[in-house]
Amino acid sequence: MTSAQRKESAQTLTTAIRAIDRLTDCTVAIAWSDATRGAYGDQVWRRMRARCRGMCAISGAAIAHGDAIYSPRPSRLPCANADAMVLASVIDAVALKVD
């Protein structure tokens, strides 16, 4: 395991993430709390394809380029967790309904 992988793995263990609500078919509201990246109580994440390899912030599973993921929606001021990813299969396994 490389040092970057160890860092990602430790980050996953110290981050509290909770899916709050499915806003649309391709967006969800996420509550994110992390001692080093801050807290976001109602952050909108959108479904997309992974542009690079990484690690799922919830399950710790590997993410390959092209996998279906959710990631924080871009904004004018980048959020501290802008590079975070959650596998779409993990979010889709949670029973969230579009209002």
Any alpha helices (H) in the chain, and if so which ranges?
A: 3-14, 88-92
Question: What pLDDT, in 10s, does the model give residues 9-68?
Answer: 444 456 788 777 889 989 999 998 888 878 888 899 999 999 999 999 989 999 999 999
pLDDT at 47: 96
Instruction: Fill in the DSSP letter of residue 67.
Output: -
pTM: 0.77
- Domain residue extents for the chain: 3-92
